[in-house]
Amino acid sequence: MSSMERVYQIDQMLGGRKLVTRSELQERLGVSWATLKRDLAYLKDRLHAPIVFDRELGGYRFDHESKRVGPQYELPGLWFSAEEIHALLTMQHLLSNLDTGGLLGPQIKPLLARLTGLLGVADDPVEQVQRRIRVQTVGARKFNLDHFQAVGSALLRRKRLLIGYHARGTDETTEREVSPQRLVHYRDNWYLDAWCHLRNDLRAFAVDAIARAEILDTRARDVAEKRLDEVLGSGYGIFTGDNVTWATLRFTPARSRWVAAERWHPMQEGTLRKDGSFELKLPYTDDRELIMDIMKYGADCVVAAPKALRDRVAAELDRARLNYSTSA
């Protein structure tokens, strides 16, 4: 742990508690008493931290009661970890692409300003961070901000929505009355989990496929979160359903090093086999998105089970070969 990391650890410990003993500080930081003294002196003398030793209680604390004389206490700029910088940039990217002038505007704008400020306290200014680190989105679709605002408003106000929904698979537009349950950001696209009163069941609707949206005065039907997860979260990807089947996929040793680190599903089970191949087991209710992900690995992925899924993948490969040969 570097000296600057220790400074932030000390600040965090003293800021979160009324009193911290010397032994607690040394144990947390893993340093000698001499090193701890130097760190405390640096905080007090160079950074003007209001640290005092309370002899009566036998520990260190921040003195928030005494009147400050001289410069205010302020930690120097820091550099975030890889996980933290990715999270901050991802949040900034998501928020900047939402409707900042609509329903969420009053909440989004201050949050964006705060995120920009957090990025700016790194060793480099925010412009440098944003120029050097980018969050790329692939396959994201544009969505109508007017409809996103209506969806978000109905969701938060617990009102039903009357939507015109374009199903890309059938190329048909139907009118649906739905009770919004939650918004989901998945693979750089937005989806609305809702109770469909036309189908009398839970459905996931792509927000960009909503052609029109009208907020109704009718109270939305509430569905328990457990039920939402059972129907909308048990399958693979964005497709939903109750009939869950488990797939077993085997990847060649050449691809196992990548797949072993990938997260295909929250409930997946992975095993590295003796021959270096990787076996992945995961649930699905609709095979369309799963087949798409299987096929991108080509001959490096074999469907071990179930047979129905193996046959479906084989049929898709045959269809792809046929299309390729006829278009060549």
CATH number at residue 157: 2.30.30
Over residues 127-140, mean pLDDT: 59
Q: What percent of the chain is helix, strand and coil (3-state, nearest 5)?
A: 40, 25, 35
Question: Lowest-pLDDT range, 141-150, 195-204, 274-283?
Answer: 141-150
Please check whether residue 76 lies inside any domain of the structure.
no
In-domain check, residue 70: no
Which residues are CB-neighbours of 182 under 8 A, at least 6 positions away?
Answer: 155, 192, 193, 228
Give the domain range for residue 46: 3-62
Residue 269 lies in a domain: yes
DSSP assignments along 102-170, one per residue? STTHHHHHHHHHHHHHHHHTSSS-HHHHHHH-----SS-----HHHHHHHHHHHHHTEEEEEEEEETTT
Q: Is residue 138 part of a domain?
A: no
Where residue 70 falls (left for φ over 0; alpha for ψ -120 to 50; beta otherwise) is left
Task: Report yes or no on 250 lying in a domain.
Answer: yes
Judgement on whether residues 160 and 185 belong to the same structural domain of the protein: yes
Q: What is the pLDDT of residue 89?
A: 61
Q: What span, in angstroms and rounded, lies between the C-alpha atoms of 139 and 190?
A: 12
Q: Is residue 107's pLDDT more than 60?
A: no
Question: What is the chain's length?
Answer: 328
For residue 13, what is the domain's CATH number?
A: 1.10.10
Residue 239, in any domain of the structure? no
With respect to residue 202, please indicate whether it lies within any of the assigned structural domains: yes
Residues 261 and 323 in one domain: yes
90, 160: one domain: no
Asked whether residue 75 is domain-assigned, the answer is no
Q: Count the Cβ atoms, other than its own, within 10 Å of residue 97.
A: 15
Encode pLDDT of 52-98 as tens digits. Answer: 998 888 899 988 776 655 566 766 655 455 556 556 666 666 666 65
CA distance 282 to 110: 40
pTM value > 0.75: no
Residue 190 exposed, middle or buried by CB count within 10 Å (0-12, 13-18, 19+): buried
Question: pLDDT value at position 150?
Answer: 87
| Exposure of 193 in the CB half-sphere (CA atoms within 13 A) | 21
- Name the packing angle between helices 3-16 and 22-29 (round to 10°): 140
Give the tokens for residue 216: 């109704």
211 plus 263 within the same structural domain: no
Number of domains in the chain: 4
Alpha-carbon dihedral sign for residues 140, 141, 145, 151: negative
